[in-house]
Amino acid sequence: MAININKIKTLPEHYQIMIAALPSVILIVLLFFLIYSPRNDEIKNLGQKILQIDKEIARGEAKVKKLDALMAENALLKKKLSRLKEQLPEEKEVSVLLKQISELGLKSGLKILLWKPAARKTEPGGLYVEIPVKVSVLAEYHRLGDFFSHISRLPRLVNISDIVLRVKNRKGQKGKGIINATFTARTFASVSPRDAGGKQGVK
């Protein structure tokens, strides 16, 4: 349909302005629906994806930090385990350790009345063996204290328990109390993985 320019000129001025602006309005509307609106939806989707990825990155970083903490804790536990294992002799070294304890008793002035190894006990996890020895000695009180002090300074782990003390006076030496001490000296031996596996296999 042909547009009569002369008729448009006879219209009021505000109608002329509206007619003149109509193509621009139509173009803007088309641009909005064809370009801006789809792009806006795309931008929103991208924003949501970015937020989701940021959350995943944050979770990943938290896991990494937790993993670092767990690895540091694991390294610390390994060091502690290594130090503890150093205090546990191998089973073949136990006889040497027991002899050393006996010699310490003699050097401390103890008279050994009883030295009786008891049955060995394996720890439920199979990591070490407990080796108890029943001991009875006669000694002056301070010498017994020296002996226990020497035991505590041994590099290997030795536990003294079940201590029973009885005072005995020698004839003519009332000022010097002699102690009859009975106790259990326990030492511990590490079990090699091969031996532990063999024992479990037997069970």
Q: Model confidence over 157-201: pLDDT tens digits?
A: 788 889 898 887 655 555 467 889 999 988 887 766 554 444 444
Higher pLDDT, 8 or 79: 79
Same domain, 140 and 65: no
Instruction: Please check the confidence at residue 148 and state whether its pLDDT lies above 70.
Output: yes
Same domain, 78 and 105: no
Residue 8: which pLDDT band, with cuts at 50, 70 and 90?
Answer: low
Same domain, 113 and 170: yes
Two structure tokens written together for 64? 């990494």
Chain position carrying tokens 């005995």: 168
Residue 136: the pLDDT is 92
Domain count, the chain: 2
Q: Model confidence over 19-71: pLDDT tens digits?
A: 666 676 676 666 666 666 566 666 677 777 777 877 888 888 887 778 788 78
Phi and psi of 11, rounded to 5°?
-75, 160
Same domain, 47 and 111: no
- Report which listed range, 2-16, 27-41, 146-160, is most confident: 146-160
Assign residue 142 the CATH number of its domain: 3.30.70.60
Q: Which of 33, 66, 86 is the last residue of a domain?
A: 86
Same domain, 42 and 82: yes
Q: Which of 36, 64, 86 is the last residue of a domain?
A: 86
Instruction: Please check the confidence at residue 4 and state whether its pLDDT lies above 70.
Output: no
Q: Which of 86, 102, 133 is the last residue of a domain?
A: 86
Same domain, 68 and 105: no
Same domain, 81 and 156: no
Higher pLDDT, 132 or 45: 132
pTM of the complete model: 0.51
Same domain, 196 and 110: yes
3-state SS of 95-140?
HHHHHHHHHHHHHCCCEEEEEEECCCEECCCCCEEEEEEEEEEEEE
Q: Model confidence over 64-118: pLDDT tens digits?
A: 778 788 788 878 877 766 666 665 656 666 677 788 888 888 888 888 898 888 8
| Residue 129 structural domain | 91-202
Same domain, 105 and 197: yes
Same domain, 20 and 102: no
Ranges of beta strands (E only) in the chain are 111-117, 121-122, 128-140, 158-170, 173-190
Same domain, 97 and 196: yes
- The 10 Å CB-count burial string (b at 16+, else e) for 151-186 is beeeebbbebeeeeeeeeeeeeeeeeebbbbebebb
Same domain, 142 and 59: no
* Cβ proximity of 147 and 122 under 8 Å: no
Instruction: Please check the confidence at residue 134 and state whether its pLDDT lies above 80.
Output: yes
Two structure tokens written together for 179? 């102690």
Neighbours of 144 (CB within 10 A): 23
* Cβ proximity of 141 and 177 under 8 Å: yes
| Pairing status of strand 128-140 against strand 173-190 | antiparallel
* Cβ proximity of 146 and 108 under 8 Å: yes
* Cβ proximity of 138 and 178 under 8 Å: yes
